[in-house]
Amino acid sequence: MINAFMRHIRWFALCLMGLAIWTSSAHAQQTLASLEFSEDSVALGMPTELVMRIQHDEDVEVMFPNRQEYFAPFEQVGKEVSPMRIRDSIAREVVVFSLRTFELVPKQSVRLPYWYVAGRDTFQKWIASDTVVLKQQIETVSDSLNYRVGEKLIAFQKPFNWPVLLLVLGVCAIVGLGIIAFLRKPVERFLALRRLRRKQLAMQARIRDLVHIEHQPDFFESLTGLWKGYFDPQDQIGLRSMTTTELSEQIHRLRNLTHDQQEMLVKTSHAADQVIYAGNTYASEELETFVWELEQVMDYVFELKEAEIKKRK
């Protein structure tokens, strides 16, 4: 009894297995696939299209490859899936893969898997593509590579070396700035001394011209205006507007002068007041003495200013 039951179970299992094999075989026969390149040749590194077409029953679900290693020796750079079309219960699907290759093999192809689900079972199949030829980018050189003496050399103009020019200009700029920084102080001292000497020469010429003024009030007025403008050019002390009394009180503010020189300027101012306001007159020798003493004081101040400029760093 038990043996008979076991025989029935074996028979039922064999029937189920046969039915599954028959079903998968039927679906396999009704699932057709093709894999073709759109062109018969491919350039190194340039994209090309690989078209995969699958025809199957409407109730069968198909899955396409998406892993990079399936496409060797190519690289997948893109994929375009067309909408599924169904006619007479037969579905047609098209997938266009964008591939490129960097392999130097003259002839190349690819073998891809695809999967389809029938009922509760999943099946995998492989399909090989046609072969594409790698385009030759450099034509074969038929001539000998040996140098031919009888032919002229191709004229080649060397491009201008801009980096060297920029480097030279940069070095020149740095050297120029260094020279300017090094010579700035000496040049400034030289120009300052030159301006000071020119002013001193002009002032000496104006003082010497005073002796030619015969009208003594004009002489002393010009003489007083010269030395006040010389010792207080910016009118910081206010010498031009001071009376003789105020001058005698403020003359100590001219710190560059000695005490005797300060007294000499006050004396000159008193003499100017006596001539201009009291009508007194001086002999020509005395007038020349006033001019000479004033010129000596100006020369003394000039030497002090010149020494001060030379000490600048």
pLDDT in tens, 269-278: 898 888 888 8
Domain shared by 111 and 37, yes or no: yes
> Are the C-beta atoms of residues 98 and 49 closer than 8 Å to each other?
yes
Asked if residue 9 belongs to a domain, the reply is no
Same domain, 219 and 303: yes
pLDDT at 8 (0 to 100): 54
pLDDT above 70 covers what percent of the chain?
85
Domain boundary among 94, 110, 134: 134
The DSSP line for the chain is -HHHHHHHHHHHHHHHHHHHHHHHHHHHHH-EEEEEESSSEE-TT--EEEEEEEEEETT-EEE----GGGGTTEEEEEEEEPPPEEETTEEEEEEEEEEEE----SEE--EEEEEEEETTEEEEEEEE---EEEP-SS----S--SPPTTSPPPP-PPPP-HHHHHHHHHHHHHHHHHHHHHHHHHHHHHHHHHHHHHHHHHHHHHHHHGGG--SHHHHHHHHHHHHHHHH-TT-SS-GGG--HHHHHHHGGG-TTS-HHHHHHHHHHHHHHHHHHHH-----HHHHHHHHHHHHHHHHHHHHHHHHHHHT--
User: What is the per-residue pLDDT for 139?
Assistant: 60
Span 218-237, average pLDDT: 85
Could you say which of 134, 158, 181 is where a domain stops? 134
Reply yes or no on whether the pLDDT at 1 is more than 70: no
Same domain, 300 and 201: yes
- The verdict on residue 21 lying in a domain is no
Residue 78 domain flag: yes
User: What per-residue confidence (pLDDT) applies to 27?
Assistant: 46
In a domain, 24, yes or no: no
Is position 293 within any domain? yes
Pair (128, 204) in one structural domain:
no
Query: Where is the domain boundary, 110, 134, 158?
Result: 134
Is residue 154 in a domain?
Answer: no
Cβ proximity of 117 and 101 under 8 Å = no
Q: Are residues 198 and 124 in the same domain?
A: no
Q: Mark whether 113 and 209 lie in a shared domain.
A: no
Q: What is the CATH number of the domain that holds 122?
A: 2.60.40.10
Residues 50 and 127 in one domain: yes
Structural domain contains residue 291:
yes
* 9 has a pLDDT exceeding 80: no
Q: How many domains does the chain have?
A: 2
- Decide if 170 is inside a domain: no
Identify the domain containing residue 67 by its residue range. Answer: 29-134
For residue 255, the model assigns a pLDDT of 81
pTM of the model: 0.42
- Tell me the per-residue pLDDT of 50-108, one tens digit each, with 9 for 90 and over: 999 999 888 888 888 888 888 988 999 999 988 889 888 888 999 999 999 988 888 89
